[in-house]
Amino acid sequence: MILSVLRKHLPNLRDLTIHTYSAAHSRDSANLLPADFLSQIAPSIFYMRVHNIGFPMGSSTALRFLVLSRNLDSNRDAPSPTPYTLAEVLLTSRQLPTLEFLYLRHILPSEMIAESAFNQSIQLPHLKKLVVSDVEPVCVDLCFLLDIHSTAEVSVALTPDRLHVSAHSIERLWRKLGDPLRVCVGDAELTFTSIEFMLGDNAPSSSIFRLGDAGTKPIAISHDHDYLHYSPRTVALTLFTRERSLWKEIILPATPLSLVKHLRFGTTMFPRPAEDIQVMLQATKSVTSLTLVGASAHPTMSCLAPSGPDGMLLPKLQELRLEDVSCNSIPPTGDVSTTVIEELNYALDRRYQHHGWSLSSLTFQGCEIDTPSLEELRVAGRWGGRTRVDRITEIV
C-alpha cells in the first residue's frame, strides 16, 4: 500500500522515512522502490531513510541524506541476494553529487566489483559522514572507489564471508582510512581507541578501532534529525572475527602511532594478554593521556610498572583516566591475584622511584573505589605532590 503511493509523481516530497519487515528479502518489484524514484518520482527529495525496500535508483542533485538498511536473513551469515546489481548501485552513487550523509547497512549486492569499475571513482565532494556495514570484499572495494573530502568521518564495519577475513584487505583499507589523517592534522593530536565486545560463545568477537583528531567536536549536519552529526577527521573500523591477532599484526603496523597522543582501551570480554598490550604501549611513545575502561585496566596497569631504571613505557604520560572499573576487586579471569588499585599504586610508585616521574592528573569516572584507597592516593606529597586525584561518580 505504501509503495503504491511512491509510484506516483511526488514533486514536492522532501523527507521520506519507511521501515518495513515484510519485504526484507523480496525480489518482487512490487515490494521495492521503482527504478526511477530519484530522478522522476521524487526529484526534490532531501532526506531519505528506508529499511528493507531496496536501493533507490536514478540521479538527484537535491538528495543530501541517504540512509539505507536491510535485515540479515536469519539462516545466513550475509544478506540474501538483492534484486538489483552492483553495477546499478555504483551508477546511482555516481549521480548523487550533493550527498552529505551516507549510511549503507547490508544493502550492497554480494558480488565482486569489476576491475573496469575502478577506472572511474565515485566523487562525493560534499560528503561529511560515511557509514558502511557489509560483507568484506564489496565493502572494501566500495571504500576504494569513493572519492570524498579528507575531513569526512568514515566508519566501516566488515562482516566476514563465512567468518573469514582477508588480512591483506583489512590492512589496505585501514591504511587508506588513516592516510588523510597523516597529512591533514598538522600539529593536531590523534586519539587511537581500541574496544572489544563479546557477541556470544559461538560468535566472533567485535573489535572497534577508531583514529581521529583529538581536537575536533561533533558537528550537526542537520538540525531536523538529531543523529545527523559528524566528527571531522575521524575514521573507525569494526571487525567481526575470531582472529584476535589481527589488531597486533595488521592494525598497529598500519596506524600512524607516532602521531597518537591519546590512547583509549575498552573491553567487555576477557582482557587482552599483557604481552599484547605491551606491544601497543611500546609503539605509542608520544602518548600523553591514557583512558582505561572496564577489564582493560588491570593488564594495562601491570605493564606500566618499569622493571628497573630502563624500559619505562609511555614516558610522556601525564593524564590517566579509569572508567567503569572495579578498583578494589580481583578480576575474575586468569590467574590474577591483585586488584586494580594495587597494580595502580605499584606502577606509579615504581615510575616515580626509578624516573622521578609523576602524573599531572588521575581520574576515576564511574568506578568502584573505596574511600581508604582514594585517600591514600591523595596523601600530601605523594609522587612529589604533583598529581591531582579526582573522582567523578556521575557521568555527565
- Written as tens digits, the pLDDT of the chain (396 aa) is 566 777 788 899 999 998 877 554 555 555 677 878 898 899 999 999 988 888 888 899 999 999 999 887 655 555 567 778 888 889 999 999 999 999 999 888 877 777 777 788 999 999 999 999 988 788 888 999 999 998 999 999 987 665 456 788 888 899 999 888 877 655 567 899 888 776 555 555 678 899 998 878 888 887 677 768 888 889 999 887 766 677 788 888 888 888 899 999 987 666 667 777 888 898 888 999 999 999 889 989 989 988 766 778 999 999 999 999 999 998 876 677 899 999 999 999 999 988 889 999 999 999 999 999 999 999 998 998 999 999 887 544
**C-alpha dihedral over 325, 329, 332, 334, to 10 degrees?**
90
Residues 383 and 312: their CA atoms lie apart, in Å, by: 16
Residue 12: Cβ within 10 Å count? 9
Quote the pLDDT of residue 344: 96
pTM, two decimals, is 0.87
Q: Return the ∠ at Cα 246 (arms to 102 and 199), rounded to 5°.
A: 65
Three-state secondary structure call for residue 381: coil
153 close to 130: Cβ distance less than 8 angstroms: yes
Quote the pLDDT of residue 75: 55
Residues 47 and 114: their CA atoms lie apart, in Å, by: 30
Amino acid identity of residue 383, one-letter, is: W
Q: Which residues are CB-contacts of 310 (< 8 A; sequence separation ≥ 6)?
A: none
175 close to 156: Cβ distance less than 8 angstroms: no
Residue 78: Cβ within 10 Å count? 18
Quote the pLDDT of residue 164: 56
Q: How many residues in total does the chain contain?
A: 396
**Per-residue DSSP letters for 46-109?**
-EEEEESS----S--SS--EEEEE-PPPTT-SSPPPPSS-HHHHHHHHTT-TT-SEEEEES-S-
Residues 230 and 217: their CA atoms lie apart, in Å, by: 8
